[in-house]
Chains A and B, each alone.
Chain A
């Protein structure tokens, strides 16, 4: 075989391989940290399939998952209200008002830690918590399993999703988690701007993004494509009555007293009222709070300092925050198995 031909035969695959790695490294290097991945991560034992998502959707919208068959997951995580409930704090079992706001579940599948106080790590861990919680849906899992087994239409849905595994706490949790992994933010004006459409957001929002990262220090906690550090901070909210210790219940450390998980800012235009206790109805009120450096200074996170923002800067920040909201997708409320 001529030397030149051998050389070409070897060098072409090598060149292609080199090109592939070069392209991959360029793509990796250029990945915009403010744009979210297309697909949420899922654990190996619970990879997404259409049957699993369908099962989870049925369970999510089924009020029979609560003791009195009056509340579904969607009662609080209502897709019509940004997958939250529009209330300052949640309303649970027997219309009992709870201490904390319902967090949106938009993009929660990207978070390595769940709940305001981080007491659950995965979606699968979290999914059955509210079902069993006495103050929420108040239905012990053994009773739920028997109830679902008594509904003929569910058997095939579980079998399709998790062949041979039956109706168990594990398959209920995995199904719910699978559906939650499909609850994702949609493309926002901010995203279109990041992708190169200079007209996608107004100039004020662009200035607001600069402030967000610099003078206003928002990105210290609200970082990356999901606008959260998945961390815990006491941001100095005024509280009435007994203080909510927050993360301190999980990690009894001074800095964690009154600290809560940083929520996403994605689709923030649809998740009012804001903060873990629903203290503020408008984004300007939120910005004012941070401009003051918080109100309750006791055990305040050391990142919290007065910002001395001008009126124009506050308006720019609000314009930026508003640019994080996409058009909500049409959600089909399923016919439930009978």
Chain B
């Protein structure tokens, strides 16, 4: 393997790690649900943005929040289906799956 190849691999690896470490960018966003987990642990968003939750698992999920900042219940839905919530209030929204309480993520909502 050439030194250039090593550099390319190192750069790719660094970019991958940085991507993992960064909160998702603001704007309308989609969060997946796969292998009984949300695909991201936290995202940043703004009031007025819409977050869509897509079920990629073979079984149902039920996304909800009972946070002070904003509460919602998107109900239960099956594989391939999506449900969305429009963010109305700044603050931290803790999101869970009602069916699988181990599934948790956060939305940091800015003004």
Q: List chain A positions with a Cβ less than 8 A from chain B.
A: 112-113, 118, 220-221, 229-233, 247, 251-256, 259, 301-303
Contact = CB atoms under 8 A, between A and B. Distances in A.
Nearest to A113: B101
A232 B99 contact: yes
A256 B98 contact: yes
Contacts of B102: 112-113, 230
A259 B76 CA distance: 13
Contact of A231 (B58, B73, B78, B101): B101
Contact of A302 (B58, B76, B100, B101): B76
Interface stretch (B5-13, B20-28, B39-47, B59-67): B59-67
Main secondary structure of the interface of A (DSSP, over half): loop
Contacts of B98: 232, 247, 251, 253, 255-256
B75 interface: yes
Given A232-B99, A251-B98, A255-B99, A302 B66 contact: no
A253 B62 contact: yes
B36 interface: yes
Interface in B61-96: 62, 64, 66, 73, 75-78
Contacts, number: 51
Describe B's contact surface by its main secondary structure. Answer: loop
B77 A302 contact: yes
B64 A303 contact: no
Contacts of B77: 302
B64 to A, nearest CB: 5
12 contacts: A229-B36, A229-B100, A230-B102, A251-B66, A251-B101, A255-B75, A259-B99, A301-B60, A301-B76, A301-B99, A302-B78, A303-B60
Contacts of B66: 251-252
Contact of B76 (A230, A251, A255): A255
Contacts of B73: 253-255
A334 to B, nearest CB: 35
A210 B92 CA distance: 44
A232 B102 CA distance: 11
A136 B100 CA distance: 28
Contacts of A220: 58-59
Nearest to A251: B98
Nearest to B58: A220
Given A302-B60, A303-B59, A231 B75 contact: no
B31 to A, nearest CB: 19
A231 B60 CA distance: 11
A303 B57 CA distance: 12
Contacts of A254: 73, 75
A230 B60 contact: no
B100 A231 contact: yes
Closest CB pairs A-B (n = 6): A220-B59, A231-B100, A231-B99, A255-B76, A255-B62, A302-B76
B12 to A, nearest CB: 20
A120 to B, nearest CB: 12
A233 B99 CA distance: 7
A73 to B, nearest CB: 25
Contact of B101 (A221, A230, A252, A255): A230
